[in-house]
C-alpha cells in the first residue's frame, strides 16, 4: 500500500511545494523587516538558471545552490539599496528586476537549455521512512525537502521566540520604537532582505536541480508571484505559509488529475484553478467577510478564530525609515 | 565654474550610458562585437521601409497601453493586470470578427467597441476587488492576466479551433473585411495610429485640464486626505482602471486585427508589461511616453534581426530596455545619490 496512487500523489505534492515553501520563508523574513521584495519571479528564474549552470560546469549540486543563493542575495540587495539608500519605490525596482531576471536568465542560459545535468540525490531517512503512509510521503524524499521543513520551523522560531527575531519584527512593525531601543532599523532591513533573497535563490535552484531538472527559458515563470501571494495568504507566518504552499501544490495536482479524468473538457481550462484560488483566498483574507464570520461565531470560538483568520501586515511594510 | 548645473545637464545621460555599457559587456562576453550588434539592431528597426513600418505597427498598441497607464499611475494604482486587459480586448474583437457578418466599416467599429468594453470590464474586476475586497491590484491583476491567457488557449484549442484541427497556434484567419485597413503590404494600420493619437490627446486633456484629473492626482498622492476632502476614491479608482482597460483592450484589438489576422496564443507579446516600463522610464511625464514607446518598439524589433544575424537570444532587446529603466530608477536623480550632497549644501 506504500506505493498506492494516493500516497504517491501526496508525496509528489510535498516535493512540488518545496521551492514555494523555501521562497515563502525567505520573503516572510524580508517583509517582516519592512521591505517588499517584489522581484521574486525574476530572482527565481535567474537563480534557477545560475544554479543549473554552476552545477553543470562544476558537476556539484551544492555549488549550484551556493551560486543561486548569491544571485538571489544580489537581486535582493538591489531592492534594499534602492529603497533604503536611494529612497526609490520598492515596487518599481522589484517590478523591473522581475522582467530583467526573466530576460537575463533567457539570454545567459541560452547555451544550457534542455540538457541533462546533476540532480539532488534522493535520500530516504532510515527508520522514519518505514512508518506506514507517513514514511513514504514525508521521509522518502531528498535533502532539499527536509531542508524546507526545518526552515519553516527555524524561521518561525527565529521570528517569534528569539531576541534577534524581536529586533527584526520591530523594524517592520514599529521602526521608531525599535530605533529608540537601539535597533539599527536599516541594518535589519538590509540583513533580512539579503538573507530572504538568498533563500529565494535556493528556491529557484531547487526547481532546476530537483523538480523540473534542467534549464529552459521561463522554467519557473509564475511561481515567484504565487509565492508572493502565499506570503499574504499565510499572514506573514511561516507555518501558515507552508500550508498555503501545500494548498497550491495540491491544486496543481488536482488540475493534472482532472485532465486525466475528463479528457473531453479542454485540458487548458484546468490550469486556471490555482489562479482563481489565489483571487478567492486573497479576497477571503482581505475583505471584511472574515470579520463577519467572527462576529456570528459562538463566544468561546471568537478568540481562537480571530487568531486564526485575522491577518494584518507588518505595520511599517513598504515605508522608508530615516535614522536621525 | 558651476559644477552643480553642469552635472544636472549631463546626468540624465549617465544611467542610459550605463545600460549600454552593461549590454555591450554581455554581447562581448558572448562573443559578439557590440558595435556590430547595435548596428544590426538599428538595421532591424529602420533598415528599410518595411522594417520601419513594422516598428510603427508595434508602437501603436504599446502607446495605447502606455497612455492608459498614465491614468492609473496618476491615481496611484499599479495596473499590472494591463496584460490581461489587452488579451481580453483581443478576444472580444476576435469574437466579433468570427461571429458577425456586416459591411467592413460596421464590423470594425463593433470590433473596436467590443474590445474596449471587454478590456474595461476586466480592469473593473481588478478595481472592484481592490476597493471592495481589499485585494491589492498587483495580485488580482497577475491572476487575471494568467486567467485571460489560459482563456485564449482554451478558445484556440477548443471552440474556436480552425476547421483543419486544433493546433494551439491560433484561430483560422478572420474574414478580410474584419481586418483593419493596412498601409501597403505592412502590418501597420494608419487608422490605429489615428485612434492612438486621439486617445493620447484626450488623456492628456483629461489629466491636465479637468477636475477629474485633479481628483485622480489627489487620490494618487494621498488617498486618506483625498477621502477627507470628499473625493469619492472608489468611483474615481474604478473609472481610472476602466479607462486604462478600455485603451488596453483597443490595443489588443489592434494586435489581433492588424499585427496578426487571427487570435494567437501570445496575442499581447508582453506589450502590457513593456508599457509599464515605458511609463516608469518617462517618470510619469506624459509627453515622454510616445517617444520612449517608439524607442522601445525599435529596440524590440531590432533585437529580432540581431538574433537572425548573430544567433544570440532576442531577449537582449528586453535586457537593454530593462537595464535603462533600472538604472534611471536607481541613479536617475543624482541628488538622491548623496555623492554630491555636500556640494548641494554649499550652493
Question: Please, are residues B26 and B264 in contact by the beta-carbon 8 Å criterion?
Answer: no
Q: Within chain A, how many helices (H) and strands (E) appear?
A: 14, 2
**Closest among B88, B111, B104, B74 to B239, alpha carbons compared:** B74
Residue A236: Cβ within 10 Å count: 23
CB-nearest partner of B276 from A95, A272, A282: A95
Q: How far is A96 from chain B (nearest CA, A)?
A: 6
A306 or A192, higher pLDDT: A192
Least confident of A120-129, B73-82, B273-282, B285-294: A120-129
User: Quick one: average pLDDT of A89-99?
Assistant: 94
**How far apart (Å, rounded) are the C-alpha atoms in residues A171 and A181?**
11
Least confident of A9-13, A237-241, B1-5, B118-122: B1-5
Residue B249: Cβ within 10 Å count: 36
Are residues A93 and B153, on separate chains, in Cβ contact within 8 Å?
no
CB-nearest partner of A279 from B78, B143, B329: B143
Q: What is the DSSP letter of A140?
A: E
B221 or B82, higher pLDDT: B82
**How far apart (Å, rounded) are the C-alpha atoms in residues B88 and B148?**
6
Looking at the predicted structure, is the pLDDT value of residue A265 above 80?
no
**Chain A residues within 8 A of B311 when measuring between CB atoms:** none
Q: How far is B322 from chain A (nearest CA, A)?
A: 6
Question: Please, are residues B64 and B57 in contact by the beta-carbon 8 Å criterion?
Answer: no
CB-nearest partner of B315 from A85, A107, A229: A107
Q: What pLDDT was estimated at residue A2?
A: 52
Tell me which H or E stretch contains A226.
helix A223-233
pLDDT digits (tens, 9 = 90+) for A146-158: 999 999 999 999 9
pTM of structure: 0.91
Q: What pLDDT was estimated at residue B347?
A: 32
**How far apart (Å, rounded) are the C-alpha atoms in residues B111 and B100?**
9
**Closest among A318, A87, A84, A73 to A187, alpha carbons compared:** A84
User: What is the SS3 assignment for B286-326?
Assistant: HHHHHHHHHHHHHHHHHHHHHHHHHCCCCHHHHHHHHHHHH
Looking at the predicted structure, is the pLDDT value of residue B346 above 50?
no
Q: Is B330 on the interface with A (CB under 8 A)?
A: yes
Looking at the predicted structure, is the pLDDT value of residue B66 above 90?
yes
Least confident of A4-13, A34-43, A251-260, B111-120: A251-260
Q: How far is A110 from chain B (nearest CA, A)?
A: 7
Total beta-carbon pairs less than 8 A apart between chain A and chain B:
119
- For residue A140, list its beta bridge partners: A124
**Chain A residues within 8 A of B27 when measuring between CB atoms:** none
Question: Please, are residues B196 and B271 in contact by the beta-carbon 8 Å criterion?
Answer: no
Candidates B22, B139, B144, partner chain A, best to mutate (most A CBs within 10 A)? B139
Are residues B322 and A232, on separate chains, in Cβ contact within 8 Å?
no
> Using alpha carbons only, what angle is made at residue B48 by residues B46 and B49, rounded to the nearest 5 degrees?
95
Tell me which H or E stretch contains A124.
strand A122-124
Question: Please, are residues A209 and A52 in contact by the beta-carbon 8 Å criterion?
Answer: yes
Domain spans in chain A, listed from the N-terminal domain onward: 5-271
What residue spans of chain B are helical by DSSP H? 3-10, 13-29, 34-46, 49-74, 82-99, 104-131, 137-157, 190-209, 211-221, 223-228, 233-254, 271-281, 289-310, 315-331, 334-337, 341-346
**Chain A residues within 8 A of B326 when measuring between CB atoms:** 78, 93, 96-97, 100
Candidates B88, B135, B140, partner chain A, best to mutate (most A CBs within 10 A)? B135
Enter the ipTM. Answer: 0.90
CA atoms within 13 A on the CB side of B253: 34
**How far apart (Å, rounded) are the C-alpha atoms in residues B182 and B199?**
20
Cell 518595411 locates to: B50
Are residues B140 and A92, on separate chains, in Cβ contact within 8 Å?
no
Rounded to a whole number of angstroms, the distance between the first and last alpha carbons of chain A is 65
Q: Quick check: helix, strand or coil at residue A113?
A: strand
**Chain B residues within 8 A of A38 when measuring between CB atoms:** 138
Are residues A96 and B318, on separate chains, in Cβ contact within 8 Å?
no
Question: Please, are residues B297 and B55 in contact by the beta-carbon 8 Å criterion?
Answer: yes
**How far apart (Å, rounded) are the C-alpha atoms in residues A293 and B125?**
24
**Chain A residues within 8 A of B143 when measuring between CB atoms:** 229, 275-276, 278-279
CB-nearest partner of A275 from B133, B147, B330: B147
Tell me which residues of chain B, numbers 167 to 226, contact chain A at a CB-CB cutoff of 8 Å. Answer: none
Least confident of A134-143, A185-194, B107-116, B320-329: A134-143
Mean per-residue pLDDT over chain B, rounded: 90
Let me know if domain A5-271 sits in CATH 1.10.390. Answer: no
pLDDT digits (tens, 9 = 90+) for A75-84: 999 999 999 9
Q: How far is A273 from chain B (nearest CA, A)?
A: 9
Are residues B318 and A99, on separate chains, in Cβ contact within 8 Å?
yes
Q: What pLDDT was estimated at residue A1?
A: 43
User: Quick one: average pLDDT of B288-298?
Assistant: 96
Tell me which residues of chain B, numbers 76 to 95, contact chain A at a CB-CB cutoff of 8 Å. Answer: 78, 80
Amino acid at each position: 500500500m506504500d506505493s498506492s496512487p494516493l500516497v504517491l500523489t501526496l508525496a509528489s505534492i510535498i516535493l512540488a511545494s518545496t521551492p514555494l515553501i523555501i521562497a515563502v520563508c525567505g520573503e516572510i523574513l524580508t517583509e517582516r523587516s519592512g521591505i517588499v521584495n517584489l522581484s521574486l519571479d525574476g530572482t527565481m528564474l535567474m537563480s534557477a538558471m545560475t544554479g543549473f549552470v554552476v552545477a553543470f560546469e562544476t558537476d556539484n549540486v551544492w555549488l549550484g545552490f551556493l551560486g543561486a543563493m548569491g544571485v538571489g542575495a544580489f537581486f535582493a540587495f538591489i531592492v534594499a539599496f534602492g529603497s533604503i539608500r536611494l529612497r526609490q519605490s520598492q515596487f518599481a525596482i522589484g517590478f523591473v528586476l522581475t522582467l530583467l531576471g526573466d530576460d537575463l536568465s533567457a539570454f545567459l542560459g541560452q547555451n544550457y537549455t534542455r540538457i541533462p545535468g546533476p540532480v539532488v540525490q534522493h535520500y530516504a531517512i532510515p527508520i522514519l521512512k518505514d512508518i506506514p503512509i507517513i514514511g513514504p510521503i514525508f521521509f522518502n524524499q531528498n535533502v532539499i525537502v527536509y531542508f524546507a521543513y526545518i526552515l519553516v520551523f527555524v524561521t518561525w522560531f527565529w521570528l517569534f521566540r528569539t531576541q534577534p527575531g524581536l529586533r527584526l519584527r520591530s523594524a517592520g512593525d514599529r521602526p521608531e520604537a525599535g530605533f529608540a531601543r537601539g535597533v539599527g532599523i536599516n541594518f535589519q532591513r538590509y540583513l533580512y532582505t539579503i538573507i530572504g533573497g538568498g533563500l529565494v535563490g535556493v528556491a529557484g535552484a531547487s526547481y532546476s536541480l530537483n523538480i523540473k531538472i534542467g534549464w529552459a527559458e521561463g522554467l519557473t515563470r509564475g511561481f515567484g508571484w504565487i509565492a508572493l501571494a502565499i506570503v499574504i495568504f499565510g499572514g506573514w507566518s511561516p507555518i501558515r505559509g507552508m500550508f498555503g504552499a501545500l494548498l497550491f501544490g495540491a491544486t496543481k495536482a488536482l488540475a493534472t488529475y482532472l485532465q486525466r479524468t475528463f479528457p473531453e473538457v479542454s485540458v487548458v481550462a484546468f490550469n486556471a484553478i490555482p489562479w482563481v484560488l489565489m483571487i478567492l483566498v486573497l479576497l477571503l483574507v482581505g475583505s471584511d467577510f472574515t470579520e463577519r464570520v467572527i462576529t456570528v461565531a459562538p463566544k468561546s470560538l471568537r478568540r481562537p478564530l480571530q487568531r486564526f483568520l485575522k491577518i494584518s501586515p507588518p505595520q511599517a511594510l513598504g515605508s522608508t525609515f530615516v535614522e536621525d | 565654474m558651476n559644477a552643480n548645473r553642469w552635472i544636472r545637464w549631463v546626468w540624465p545621460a549617465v544611467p542610459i550610458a550605463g545600460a549600454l555599457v552593461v549590454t555591450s559587456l554581455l554581447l562581448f562576453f558572448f562573443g559578439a562585437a557590440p558595435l556590430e550588434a547595435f548596428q544590426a539592431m538599428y538595421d532591424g528597426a529602420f533598415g528599410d521601409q518595411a522594417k520601419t513600418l513594422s516598428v510603427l505597427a508595434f508602437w501603436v498598441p504599446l502607446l495605447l497601453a502606455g497612455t492608459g497607464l498614465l491614468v492609473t499611475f496618476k491615481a496611484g494604482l499599479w495596473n499590472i493586470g494591463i496584460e490581461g486587459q489587452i488579451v481580453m480586448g483581443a478576444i472580444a474583437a476576435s469574437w466579433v470578427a468570427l461571429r458577425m457578418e456586416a459591411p467592413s466599416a460596421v464590423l470594425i467599429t463593433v470590433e473596436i467597441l467590443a474590445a474596449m468594453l471587454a478590456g474595461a470590464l476586466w480592469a473593473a474586476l481588478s478595481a472592484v476587488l481592490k476597493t471592495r475586497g481589499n485585494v491589492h491590484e498587483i495580485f488580482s491583476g497577475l491572476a487575471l492576466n494568467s486567467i485571460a491567457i489560459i482563456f485564449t488557449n482554451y478558445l484556440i484549442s477548443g471552440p474556436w479551433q480552425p476547421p483543419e484541427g486544433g493546433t494551439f497556434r491560433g484561430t483560422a484567419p478572420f474574414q478580410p473585411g474584419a481586418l483593419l485597413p493596412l498601409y501597403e503590404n505592412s502590418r501597420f494600420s494608419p487608422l490605429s495610429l489615428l485612434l492612438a493619437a486621439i486617445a493620447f490627446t484626450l488623456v492628456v486633456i483629461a489629466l491636465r485640464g479637468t477636475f477629474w484629473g485633479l481628483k485622480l492626482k489627489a487620490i494618487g498622492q494621498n488617498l486618506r486626505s483625498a477621502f477627507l476632502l470628499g473625493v469619492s476614491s472608489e468611483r474615481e479608482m474604478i473609472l481610472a482602471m476602466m479607462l486604462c482597460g478600455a485603451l488596453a483592450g483597443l490595443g489588443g484589438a489592434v494586435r489581433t486585427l492588424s499585427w496578426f489576422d487571427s487570435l494567437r496564443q501570445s496575442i499581447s507579446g508582453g506589450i502590457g508589461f513593456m508599457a509599464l516600463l515605458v511609463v516608469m522610464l518617462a517618470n510619469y511625464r506624459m509627453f515622454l511616453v510616445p517617444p520612449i514607446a517608439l524607442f522601445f518598439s525599435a529596440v524590440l524589433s531590432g533585437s529580432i534581426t540581431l538574433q537572425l544575424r548573430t544567433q544570440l537570444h532576442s531577449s537582449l532587446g528586453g535586457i537593454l530596455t530593462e537595464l535603462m529603466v533600472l538604472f534611471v530608477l536607481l541613479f536617475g536623480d543624482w541628488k538622491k545619490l548623496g555623492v554630491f550632497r555636500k556640494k548641494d549644501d554649499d550652493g
